[in-house]
Protein backbone atom coordinates (compact mmCIF):
# COMPACT_ATOMS: atom_id res chain seq x y z
CA UNK A 1 0.00 0.00 0.00
CA UNK A 2 1.01 3.59 -0.50
CA UNK A 3 1.85 5.08 2.89
CA UNK A 4 1.11 8.57 1.63
CA UNK A 5 -2.60 7.81 1.53
CA UNK A 6 -4.70 6.55 4.34
CA UNK A 7 -6.74 3.35 4.21
CA UNK A 8 -10.32 4.12 5.28
CA UNK A 9 -11.73 0.65 4.62
CA UNK A 10 -10.89 -0.68 8.08
CA UNK A 11 -12.71 0.67 11.13
CA UNK A 12 -9.52 2.48 12.08
CA UNK A 13 -8.14 4.65 9.26
CA UNK A 14 -4.43 4.00 8.93
CA UNK A 15 -1.39 3.97 6.71
CA UNK A 16 0.33 1.10 8.52
CA UNK A 17 -1.43 -1.72 6.70
CA UNK A 18 -3.60 -2.71 9.63
CA UNK A 19 -5.82 -4.77 7.29
CA UNK A 20 -3.02 -7.33 7.14
CA UNK A 21 -1.88 -6.94 10.73
CA UNK A 22 -4.84 -8.81 12.22
CA UNK A 23 -3.56 -9.08 15.76
CA UNK A 24 -2.90 -5.37 16.19
CA UNK A 25 -6.12 -4.48 14.38
CA UNK A 26 -8.01 -6.72 16.81
CA UNK A 27 -6.29 -5.13 19.80
CA UNK A 28 -7.09 -1.63 18.55
CA UNK A 29 -10.70 -2.58 17.77
CA UNK A 30 -10.94 -3.94 21.29
CA UNK A 31 -9.70 -0.64 22.68
CA UNK A 32 -11.98 1.49 20.47
CA UNK A 33 -15.26 1.24 22.47
CA UNK A 34 -13.44 2.27 25.67
CA UNK A 35 -11.99 5.21 23.82
CA UNK A 36 -15.43 6.30 22.62
CA UNK A 37 -16.80 5.96 26.16
CA UNK A 38 -13.94 8.14 27.36
CA UNK A 39 -14.61 10.69 24.61
CA UNK A 40 -18.32 10.84 25.44
CA UNK A 41 -17.58 11.15 29.17
CA UNK A 42 -14.60 13.47 29.10
CA UNK A 43 -14.64 15.12 25.66
CA UNK A 44 -16.22 18.51 24.84
CA UNK A 45 -19.30 18.82 26.99
CA UNK A 46 -22.57 19.68 25.30
CA UNK A 47 -21.47 19.66 21.66
CA UNK A 48 -21.21 16.01 20.75
CA UNK A 49 -24.20 16.24 18.39
CA UNK A 50 -23.14 19.51 16.75
CA UNK A 51 -21.67 19.60 13.26
CA UNK A 52 -18.15 20.99 13.41
CA UNK A 53 -16.12 22.13 10.42
CA UNK A 54 -13.04 19.98 11.10
CA UNK A 55 -9.99 18.91 9.22
CA UNK A 56 -9.24 15.21 9.09
CA UNK A 57 -5.90 13.78 8.04
CA UNK A 58 -6.33 11.79 4.84
CA UNK A 59 -2.68 11.58 3.83
CA UNK A 60 0.76 12.21 5.29
CA UNK A 61 1.93 14.08 2.22
CA UNK A 62 3.19 17.46 3.50
CA UNK A 63 1.75 19.10 0.36
CA UNK A 64 -1.85 18.27 1.20
CA UNK A 65 -2.73 15.99 4.05
CA UNK A 66 -6.04 17.25 5.35
CA UNK A 67 -9.61 17.57 4.21
CA UNK A 68 -12.19 19.89 5.78
CA UNK A 69 -15.82 19.00 6.32
CA UNK A 70 -18.67 19.09 8.82
CA UNK A 71 -18.35 16.22 11.28
CA UNK A 72 -20.01 15.22 14.55
CA UNK A 73 -17.06 14.81 16.90
CA UNK A 74 -17.83 11.24 18.05
CA UNK A 75 -17.82 10.32 14.35
CA UNK A 76 -14.40 11.86 13.72
CA UNK A 77 -12.14 9.31 11.99
CA UNK A 78 -9.32 9.00 14.49
CA UNK A 79 -6.60 7.24 12.60
CA UNK A 80 -3.10 5.81 12.92
CA UNK A 81 -0.78 7.79 10.68
CA UNK A 82 2.97 7.53 10.43
CA UNK A 83 5.29 9.65 8.31
CA UNK A 84 6.76 7.60 5.41
CA UNK A 85 9.63 5.26 6.25
CA UNK A 86 13.11 6.19 5.08
CA UNK A 87 14.89 2.86 4.47
CA UNK A 88 18.30 4.44 4.87
CA UNK A 89 17.57 6.09 8.21
CA UNK A 90 20.17 5.57 10.96
CA UNK A 91 20.40 5.99 14.71
CA UNK A 92 21.81 9.50 14.80
CA UNK A 93 23.10 9.89 18.36
CA UNK A 94 24.17 8.06 21.50
CA UNK A 95 26.20 4.89 21.79
CA UNK A 96 24.49 3.23 18.81
CA UNK A 97 25.14 6.15 16.49
CA UNK A 98 25.57 4.93 12.91
CA UNK A 99 23.58 1.70 13.30
CA UNK A 100 20.50 1.20 11.13
CA UNK A 101 17.39 2.67 12.79
CA UNK A 102 15.42 -0.01 14.67
CA UNK A 103 12.14 -1.28 13.29
CA UNK A 104 11.54 -3.37 16.41
CA UNK A 105 12.01 -2.48 20.06
CA UNK A 106 15.54 -3.33 21.23
CA UNK A 107 15.01 -5.77 24.13
CA UNK A 108 17.37 -4.01 26.52
CA UNK A 109 15.51 -0.69 26.11
CA UNK A 110 11.99 -2.00 26.23
CA UNK A 111 11.06 -0.57 29.64
CA UNK A 112 12.63 2.82 28.93
CA UNK A 113 10.92 3.11 25.58
CA UNK A 114 7.57 2.09 26.94
CA UNK A 115 7.88 4.76 29.62
CA UNK A 116 8.59 7.44 27.02
CA UNK A 117 5.55 6.42 24.97
CA UNK A 118 3.27 6.26 28.02
CA UNK A 119 4.33 9.69 29.34
CA UNK A 120 3.74 11.28 25.95
CA UNK A 121 0.47 9.38 25.54
CA UNK A 122 -0.84 10.49 28.93
CA UNK A 123 -0.64 14.19 28.06
CA UNK A 124 -2.88 13.83 25.00
CA UNK A 125 -6.22 12.90 26.60
CA UNK A 126 -5.36 15.04 29.64
CA UNK A 127 -5.68 18.31 27.74
CA UNK A 128 -9.03 17.23 26.26
CA UNK A 129 -10.25 16.63 29.82
CA UNK A 130 -8.91 20.00 30.97
CA UNK A 131 -10.70 21.82 28.16
CA UNK A 132 -14.01 19.99 28.18
CA UNK A 133 -16.14 22.81 29.59
CA UNK A 134 -14.85 25.57 27.33
CA UNK A 135 -17.26 25.05 24.42
CA UNK A 136 -20.04 26.62 26.47
CA UNK A 137 -18.24 29.96 26.80
CA UNK A 138 -16.61 30.21 23.36
CA UNK A 139 -16.11 33.83 22.26
CA UNK A 140 -17.12 32.90 18.68
CA UNK A 141 -17.91 29.93 16.45
CA UNK A 142 -14.46 30.33 14.91
CA UNK A 143 -12.81 29.85 18.31
CA UNK A 144 -15.15 27.05 19.25
CA UNK A 145 -14.20 25.19 16.08
CA UNK A 146 -10.50 25.65 16.83
CA UNK A 147 -10.98 24.28 20.34
CA UNK A 148 -12.71 21.20 18.98
CA UNK A 149 -10.05 20.75 16.28
CA UNK A 150 -7.36 20.74 18.94
CA UNK A 151 -9.42 18.32 21.02
CA UNK A 152 -10.01 15.74 18.28
CA UNK A 153 -6.35 15.88 17.29
CA UNK A 154 -5.20 15.33 20.86
CA UNK A 155 -7.52 12.32 20.72
CA UNK A 156 -5.73 11.17 17.58
CA UNK A 157 -2.37 11.64 19.29
CA UNK A 158 -3.58 9.29 22.00
CA UNK A 159 -4.41 6.78 19.24
CA UNK A 160 -0.92 7.23 17.83
CA UNK A 161 0.71 6.32 21.15
CA UNK A 162 -1.74 3.47 21.77
CA UNK A 163 -0.88 1.99 18.37
CA UNK A 164 2.80 1.89 19.37
CA UNK A 165 1.96 0.31 22.72
CA UNK A 166 -0.25 -2.36 21.19
CA UNK A 167 1.93 -3.16 18.24
CA UNK A 168 5.33 -3.22 19.95
CA UNK A 169 4.83 -3.90 23.66
CA UNK A 170 2.53 -6.95 23.83
CA UNK A 171 0.49 -7.51 26.96
CA UNK A 172 2.03 -4.72 29.06
CA UNK A 173 1.47 -2.37 26.15
CA UNK A 174 -2.23 -3.28 26.15
CA UNK A 175 -2.43 -2.70 29.89
CA UNK A 176 -0.79 0.70 29.55
CA UNK A 177 -3.25 1.54 26.75
CA UNK A 178 -6.16 0.77 29.08
CA UNK A 179 -4.61 2.85 31.87
CA UNK A 180 -4.39 5.84 29.54
CA UNK A 181 -8.20 5.80 29.47
CA UNK A 182 -8.45 5.28 33.22
CA UNK A 183 -6.47 8.23 34.57
CA UNK A 184 -8.22 11.61 34.70
CA UNK A 185 -6.85 15.12 34.78
CA UNK A 186 -7.00 16.55 38.31
CA UNK A 187 -8.36 13.32 39.81
CA UNK A 188 -7.27 12.74 43.42
CA UNK A 189 -6.89 8.99 43.12
CA UNK A 190 -5.66 8.56 39.56
CA UNK A 191 -4.39 11.87 38.19
CA UNK A 192 -2.56 12.36 34.91
CA UNK A 193 1.20 11.82 35.15
CA UNK A 194 2.49 15.40 34.82
CA UNK A 195 1.65 18.46 36.91
CA UNK A 196 0.55 20.96 34.28
CA UNK A 197 -1.91 18.39 32.94
CA UNK A 198 -3.74 18.29 36.25
CA UNK A 199 -4.30 22.05 36.43
CA UNK A 200 -7.70 23.49 35.53
CA UNK A 201 -8.24 25.33 32.25
CA UNK A 202 -11.12 27.46 33.53
CA UNK A 203 -11.45 30.10 30.81
CA UNK A 204 -10.48 30.94 27.25
CA UNK A 205 -7.47 33.03 28.13
CA UNK A 206 -6.13 30.00 30.00
CA UNK A 207 -6.84 27.89 26.92
CA UNK A 208 -4.88 30.23 24.64
CA UNK A 209 -1.99 30.40 27.13
CA UNK A 210 -2.08 26.62 27.46
CA UNK A 211 -1.93 26.03 23.71
CA UNK A 212 0.91 28.52 23.39
CA UNK A 213 3.04 27.39 26.34
CA UNK A 214 2.06 23.82 27.15
CA UNK A 215 1.46 22.57 23.60
CA UNK A 216 4.85 24.07 22.84
CA UNK A 217 6.38 21.85 25.50
CA UNK A 218 4.60 19.08 23.59
CA UNK A 219 6.26 20.25 20.41
CA UNK A 220 9.72 20.12 22.03
CA UNK A 221 9.10 16.63 23.41
CA UNK A 222 7.80 15.42 20.04
CA UNK A 223 10.75 17.00 18.26
CA UNK A 224 13.17 15.10 20.47
CA UNK A 225 11.22 11.85 20.09
CA UNK A 226 11.14 12.40 16.32
CA UNK A 227 14.93 11.95 16.51
CA UNK A 228 14.52 8.50 18.08
CA UNK A 229 16.48 5.52 16.79
CA UNK A 230 13.27 3.52 17.25
CA UNK A 231 11.90 4.31 13.82
CA UNK A 232 8.15 3.79 14.41
CA UNK A 233 8.28 6.33 17.25
CA UNK A 234 10.13 8.78 15.05
CA UNK A 235 7.65 8.39 12.20
CA UNK A 236 4.63 8.70 14.50
CA UNK A 237 5.83 11.84 16.23
CA UNK A 238 6.89 13.47 12.97
CA UNK A 239 3.34 13.35 11.72
CA UNK A 240 1.95 14.52 15.09
CA UNK A 241 4.12 17.63 14.77
CA UNK A 242 2.27 18.57 11.58
CA UNK A 243 -0.97 18.76 13.55
CA UNK A 244 0.68 20.33 16.60
CA UNK A 245 1.59 23.42 14.60
CA UNK A 246 -2.10 24.37 14.43
CA UNK A 247 -2.44 24.07 18.22
CA UNK A 248 0.32 26.60 18.74
CA UNK A 249 -1.21 28.81 16.07
CA UNK A 250 -4.46 28.80 18.07
CA UNK A 251 -2.55 29.83 21.21
CA UNK A 252 -0.38 32.49 19.67
CA UNK A 253 -3.10 34.15 17.61
CA UNK A 254 -5.58 33.76 20.47
CA UNK A 255 -3.41 35.70 22.91
CA UNK A 256 -2.46 38.10 20.11
CA UNK A 257 -6.12 38.86 19.39
CA UNK A 258 -6.79 39.53 23.09
CA UNK A 259 -3.85 41.96 23.19
CA UNK A 260 -5.03 43.61 20.00
CA UNK A 261 -8.52 44.15 21.35
CA UNK A 262 -7.30 45.49 24.71
CA UNK A 263 -4.97 47.98 23.06
CA UNK A 264 -7.65 49.15 20.60
CA UNK A 265 -10.19 49.63 23.38
CA UNK A 266 -7.66 51.57 25.47
CA UNK A 267 -6.81 53.83 22.57
CA UNK A 268 -10.46 54.44 21.71
CA UNK A 269 -11.16 55.38 25.32
CA UNK A 270 -8.07 57.57 25.56
CA UNK A 271 -6.46 55.49 28.32
CA UNK A 272 -2.69 55.98 28.18
CA UNK A 273 -1.63 54.16 31.35
CA UNK A 274 -1.76 50.36 30.87
CA UNK A 275 -1.51 49.97 34.65
CA UNK A 276 -4.78 51.77 35.23
CA UNK A 277 -6.37 48.36 35.60
CA UNK A 278 -9.79 49.46 36.77
CA UNK A 279 -10.34 51.82 33.88
CA UNK A 280 -9.21 49.20 31.35
CA UNK A 281 -11.38 46.50 32.88
CA UNK A 282 -14.37 48.82 32.82
CA UNK A 283 -14.13 48.60 29.02
CA UNK A 284 -14.79 44.86 29.23
CA UNK A 285 -11.31 43.87 28.05
CA UNK A 286 -8.40 42.16 29.81
CA UNK A 287 -5.75 44.58 31.07
CA UNK A 288 -2.13 44.00 30.05
CA UNK A 289 -0.72 43.46 33.58
CA UNK A 290 -3.18 40.58 33.97
CA UNK A 291 -2.01 39.18 30.62
CA UNK A 292 1.53 39.25 32.03
CA UNK A 293 0.43 37.39 35.16
CA UNK A 294 -1.33 34.70 33.13
CA UNK A 295 1.80 34.33 31.05
CA UNK A 296 3.93 34.01 34.21
CA UNK A 297 1.69 31.22 35.41
CA UNK A 298 1.52 29.16 32.24
CA UNK A 299 5.19 29.55 31.37
CA UNK A 300 6.37 28.46 34.81
CA UNK A 301 4.00 25.47 34.87
CA UNK A 302 5.28 24.44 31.45
CA UNK A 303 8.94 24.73 32.50
CA UNK A 304 8.21 22.11 35.14
CA UNK A 305 7.30 19.65 32.37
CA UNK A 306 10.95 19.41 31.35
CA UNK A 307 11.83 17.70 34.63
CA UNK A 308 14.98 18.17 36.70
CA UNK A 309 17.78 20.18 35.15
CA UNK A 310 20.23 17.40 35.91
CA UNK A 311 18.82 13.97 35.14
CA UNK A 312 20.37 10.55 34.66
CA UNK A 313 17.15 9.40 32.96
CA UNK A 314 17.66 12.00 30.26
CA UNK A 315 21.26 10.83 29.83
CA UNK A 316 20.13 7.21 29.59
CA UNK A 317 17.45 7.99 27.00
CA UNK A 318 20.04 9.79 24.91
CA UNK A 319 22.81 7.22 25.26
CA UNK A 320 20.38 4.52 24.26
CA UNK A 321 19.40 6.45 21.12
CA UNK A 322 15.76 6.76 22.20
CA UNK A 323 15.30 10.51 22.70
CA UNK A 324 17.52 13.09 21.05
CA UNK A 325 17.99 16.83 21.27
CA UNK A 326 15.89 19.47 19.52
CA UNK A 327 17.02 19.37 15.86
CA UNK A 328 19.68 16.78 16.72
CA UNK A 329 20.80 16.17 13.16
CA UNK A 330 21.37 19.88 12.54
CA UNK A 331 23.73 20.26 15.51
CA UNK A 332 27.42 20.07 14.70
CA UNK A 333 29.12 17.92 17.31
CA UNK A 334 29.87 14.24 17.85
CA UNK A 335 26.25 13.39 18.90
CA UNK A 336 27.60 11.29 21.75
CA UNK A 337 28.37 14.10 24.21
CA UNK A 338 30.48 11.88 26.45
CA UNK A 339 33.14 14.55 27.06
CA UNK A 340 31.00 17.68 26.68
CA UNK A 341 29.71 20.11 29.25
CA UNK A 342 26.57 22.25 29.33
CA UNK A 343 25.87 25.17 31.65
CA UNK A 344 23.01 24.69 34.06
CA UNK A 345 21.33 27.24 36.34
CA UNK A 346 21.62 26.05 39.91
CA UNK A 347 21.25 27.24 43.48
CA UNK A 348 24.74 27.62 44.94
CA UNK A 349 25.01 28.95 48.53
CA UNK A 350 21.67 30.70 48.21
CA UNK A 351 22.49 32.28 44.87
CA UNK A 352 21.45 31.44 41.31
CA UNK A 353 24.55 30.53 39.30
CA UNK A 354 25.46 28.95 35.98
CA UNK A 355 27.37 25.76 36.69
CA UNK A 356 29.16 23.39 34.29
CA UNK A 357 27.52 19.97 34.15
CA UNK A 358 28.18 16.93 31.95
CA UNK A 359 26.20 17.62 28.77
CA UNK A 360 24.54 14.20 28.94
CA UNK A 361 22.89 14.70 32.30
CA UNK A 362 22.00 18.30 31.40
CA UNK A 363 19.82 17.34 28.41
CA UNK A 364 16.54 18.37 30.07
CA UNK A 365 17.99 21.80 30.71
CA UNK A 366 19.15 22.07 27.15
CA UNK A 367 15.74 21.17 25.74
CA UNK A 368 14.17 23.65 28.16
CA UNK A 369 16.55 26.38 26.97
CA UNK A 370 15.52 25.64 23.37
CA UNK A 371 11.91 25.87 24.51
CA UNK A 372 12.50 29.23 26.21
CA UNK A 373 14.09 30.62 23.05
CA UNK A 374 11.08 29.44 21.02
CA UNK A 375 8.66 31.03 23.52
CA UNK A 376 10.60 34.28 23.53
CA UNK A 377 10.12 34.66 19.78
CA UNK A 378 6.36 34.37 20.17
CA UNK A 379 6.37 36.88 23.03
CA UNK A 380 8.23 39.33 20.78
CA UNK A 381 5.51 38.92 18.14
CA UNK A 382 2.96 39.77 20.85
CA UNK A 383 4.99 42.83 21.85
CA UNK A 384 4.90 43.97 18.23
CA UNK A 385 1.09 43.99 18.39
CA UNK A 386 1.16 46.17 21.53
CA UNK A 387 3.80 48.44 20.07
CA UNK A 388 1.96 48.86 16.77
CA UNK A 389 -1.16 49.85 18.66
CA UNK A 390 0.87 52.60 20.31
CA UNK A 391 0.58 51.31 23.88
CA UNK A 392 3.59 51.62 26.14
CA UNK A 393 3.88 48.14 27.64
CA UNK A 394 6.09 45.08 27.15
CA UNK A 395 5.44 41.47 28.02
CA UNK A 396 8.40 39.53 29.34
CA UNK A 397 9.04 35.86 30.17
CA UNK A 398 9.72 35.47 33.89
CA UNK A 399 13.04 34.13 35.19
CA UNK A 400 13.53 30.35 35.23
CA UNK A 401 13.55 30.33 39.04
CA UNK A 402 10.12 31.96 39.26
CA UNK A 403 7.24 29.85 40.64
CA UNK A 404 8.79 26.42 40.11
CA UNK A 405 7.73 23.11 41.58
CA UNK A 406 10.28 20.82 39.95
CA UNK A 407 14.07 20.93 39.87
CA UNK A 408 16.67 23.29 41.29
CA UNK A 409 14.27 26.06 42.23
CA UNK A 410 11.42 24.00 43.66
CA UNK A 411 12.28 25.01 47.21
CA UNK A 412 12.92 28.72 46.81
CA UNK A 413 10.76 31.69 45.94
CA UNK A 414 11.94 34.09 43.29
CA UNK A 415 10.50 37.17 41.59
CA UNK A 416 10.05 37.25 37.80
CA UNK A 417 13.39 39.07 37.68
CA UNK A 418 15.07 36.14 39.45
CA UNK A 419 15.58 37.72 42.86
CA UNK A 420 15.30 35.21 45.67
CA UNK A 421 12.84 36.29 48.36
CA UNK A 422 11.73 34.84 51.70
CA UNK A 423 8.50 32.86 51.98
CA UNK A 424 6.95 35.71 53.94
CA UNK A 425 7.92 38.23 51.28
CA UNK A 426 6.60 35.91 48.58
CA UNK A 427 3.25 35.60 50.32
CA UNK A 428 3.05 39.39 50.33
CA UNK A 429 3.92 39.88 46.64
CA UNK A 430 2.50 36.73 45.07
CA UNK A 431 -0.59 38.42 43.67
CA UNK A 432 1.55 41.02 41.92
CA UNK A 433 2.99 38.30 39.72
CA UNK A 434 0.44 35.50 39.50
CA UNK A 435 -3.30 35.74 38.82
CA UNK A 436 -5.25 36.27 42.04
CA UNK A 437 -8.71 34.89 42.71
CA UNK A 438 -10.08 38.33 41.85
CA UNK A 439 -8.21 38.32 38.52
CA UNK A 440 -9.69 34.91 37.75
CA UNK A 441 -13.17 36.13 38.69
CA UNK A 442 -12.79 39.12 36.41
CA UNK A 443 -11.70 36.96 33.47
CA UNK A 444 -14.58 34.54 34.15
CA UNK A 445 -17.03 37.45 34.14
CA UNK A 446 -16.11 38.14 30.50
CA UNK A 447 -16.72 34.56 29.38
CA UNK A 448 -20.19 34.92 27.94
CA UNK A 449 -20.73 32.79 24.85
CA UNK A 450 -21.11 34.29 21.39
CA UNK A 451 -22.54 31.89 18.83
CA UNK A 452 -23.80 34.08 15.99
CA UNK A 453 -21.68 33.48 12.86
CA UNK A 454 -19.14 36.26 12.32
CA UNK A 455 -19.62 37.77 15.80
CA UNK A 456 -16.95 37.90 18.52
CA UNK A 457 -16.98 38.57 22.25
CA UNK A 458 -15.97 42.10 23.19
CA UNK A 459 -12.65 41.05 24.79
CA UNK A 460 -11.11 39.50 21.66
CA UNK A 461 -10.49 40.71 18.09
CA UNK A 462 -11.62 38.69 15.06
CA UNK A 463 -8.88 36.70 13.29
CA UNK A 464 -7.22 38.12 10.18
CA UNK A 465 -8.23 35.15 8.02
CA UNK A 466 -10.68 32.30 8.37
CA UNK A 467 -9.92 28.61 8.69
CA UNK A 468 -9.64 26.95 5.26
CA UNK A 469 -9.98 30.50 3.84
CA UNK A 470 -13.62 30.71 4.84
CA UNK A 471 -15.28 34.15 4.96
CA UNK A 472 -15.76 36.03 8.22
CA UNK A 473 -19.38 35.01 8.77
CA UNK A 474 -18.84 31.29 8.07
CA UNK A 475 -20.77 28.98 10.39
CA UNK A 476 -17.88 26.90 11.76
CA UNK A 477 -20.12 25.01 14.16
CA UNK A 478 -23.75 24.15 13.54
CA UNK A 479 -24.86 23.86 17.11
CA UNK A 480 -27.37 21.07 17.67
CA UNK A 481 -30.41 22.21 19.59
FE1 LIG B 1 -0.84 16.30 21.10
FE1 LIG C 1 -1.37 19.76 20.95
Q: How far is the CA of 267 from the centre of ligand 1 (A)?
A: 38
Instruction: DSSP letter for 211, please.
Output: I
Query: What percent of the chain shows pLDDT beyond 90?
Result: 94
pLDDT one-digit tens code per residue, 348-391: 999 999 999 999 999 999 999 999 999 999 999 999 999 999 99
Q: Which residues contact 218 (CB under 8 A, 6 or more apart)?
A: 123, 244, 247
pLDDT of amino acid 310 = 95
Say which ligand is closest to the CA of 222: 1
* C-beta of residue 346 within 8 angstroms of C-beta of residue 221: no
pLDDT band at 2 (very low <50, low <70, confident <90, very high): low
* C-beta of residue 11 within 8 angstroms of C-beta of residue 29: yes
pLDDT of amino acid 63 = 77
Q: How far is the CA of 162 from the centre of ligand 1 (A)?
A: 13
Q: How far is the CA of 182 from the centre of ligand 2 (A)?
A: 20
Q: Which residues pair with 412 in a beta bridge?
A: none
* C-beta of residue 39 within 8 angstroms of C-beta of residue 74: yes
pLDDT band at 95 (very low <50, low <70, confident <90, very high): very high
For residue 64, is pLDDT > 90? Answer: no
Q: Average pLDDT of the chain?
A: 96
For residue 88, is pLDDT > 80? Answer: yes
Q: Based on C-alpha coordinates, what's the Rg of the chain?
A: 23
pLDDT one-digit tens code per residue, 248-288: 999 999 999 999 999 999 999 999 999 999 999 999 999 99
Q: How far is the CA of 238 from the centre of ligand 2 (A)?
A: 13
Query: Would you give the distance in Å from CA 298 to the centre of its chain?
Result: 11
Q: How far is the CA of 154 from the centre of ligand 1 (A)?
A: 4
* C-beta of residue 127 within 8 angstroms of C-beta of residue 156: no
pLDDT one-digit tens code per residue, 319-333: 999 999 999 999 999
* C-beta of residue 321 within 8 angstroms of C-beta of residue 328: no
For residue 363, report the phi and psi dihedrals to the nearest 5 degrees: -65, -30
Q: How far is the CA of 160 from the centre of ligand 1 (A)?
A: 10
Q: How far is the CA of 12 from the centre of ligand 2 (A)?
A: 21
Query: Which one has a higher pLDDT value, 201 or 1?
Result: 201
Helix residue ranges per DSSP H, 270-417: 277-281, 288-304, 312-319, 363-388
Q: Which residues contact 97 (CB under 8 A, 6 or more apart)?
A: 90, 91, 321, 335, 336
Say which ligand is closest to the CA of 237: 1
pLDDT band at 3 (very low <50, low <70, confident <90, very high): low
Q: How far is the CA of 264 from the centre of ligand 2 (A)?
A: 30
Q: How far is the CA of 23 from the centre of ligand 2 (A)?
A: 29
* C-beta of residue 273 within 8 angstroms of C-beta of residue 447: no
pLDDT one-digit tens code per residue, 289-306: 999 999 999 999 999 999
Mean pLDDT (whole number) for 106-128:
97
For residue 123, is pLDDT > 70? Answer: yes
Q: How far is the CA of 215 from the centre of ligand 2 (A)?
A: 5
pLDDT band at 61 (very low <50, low <70, confident <90, very high): confident
* C-beta of residue 73 within 8 angstroms of C-beta of residue 39: yes
Helix, strand or coil, per DSSP, at residue 206: helix
Q: How far is the CA of 124 from the centre of ligand 1 (A)?
A: 5
Q: How far is the CA of 42 from the centre of ligand 2 (A)?
A: 17
Q: How far is the CA of 405 from the centre of ligand 1 (A)?
A: 23
pLDDT of amino acid 481 = 76
Instruction: DSSP letter for 80, please.
Output: B
Give the predicted TM-score (pTM) of the model: 0.97
Rounded to whole angstroms, the Cα distance separating 32 from 422 reads 51
Q: How far is the CA of 95 from the centre of ligand 2 (A)?
A: 31
Rounded to whole angstroms, the Cα distance separating 308 from 298 reads 18
Q: Which residues contact 199 (CB under 8 A, 6 or more apart)?
A: 130, 186, 301
* C-beta of residue 346 within 8 angstroms of C-beta of residue 309: yes
Q: How far is the CA of 157 from the centre of ligand 1 (A)?
A: 5
pLDDT one-digit tens code per residue, 154-200: 999 999 999 999 999 999 999 999 999 999 999 999 999 999 899 99
Q: How far is the CA of 244 from the centre of ligand 2 (A)?
A: 5
Amino acid sequence: MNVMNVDYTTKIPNNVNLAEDRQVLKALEGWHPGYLDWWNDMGPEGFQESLVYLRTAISVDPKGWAKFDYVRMPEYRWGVLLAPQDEARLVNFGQHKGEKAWQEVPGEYRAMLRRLVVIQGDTEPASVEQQRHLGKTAPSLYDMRNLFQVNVEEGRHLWAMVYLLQKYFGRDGREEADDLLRRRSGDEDSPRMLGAFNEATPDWLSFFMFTFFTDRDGKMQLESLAQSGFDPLSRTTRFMLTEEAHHMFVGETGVGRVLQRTCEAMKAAGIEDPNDIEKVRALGVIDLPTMQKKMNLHYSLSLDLFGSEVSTNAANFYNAGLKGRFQETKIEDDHRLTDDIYQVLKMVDGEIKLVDEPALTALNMRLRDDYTADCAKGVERWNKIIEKAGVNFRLELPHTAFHRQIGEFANVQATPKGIIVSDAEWARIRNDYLPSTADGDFISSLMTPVSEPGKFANWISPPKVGIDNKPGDFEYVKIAA
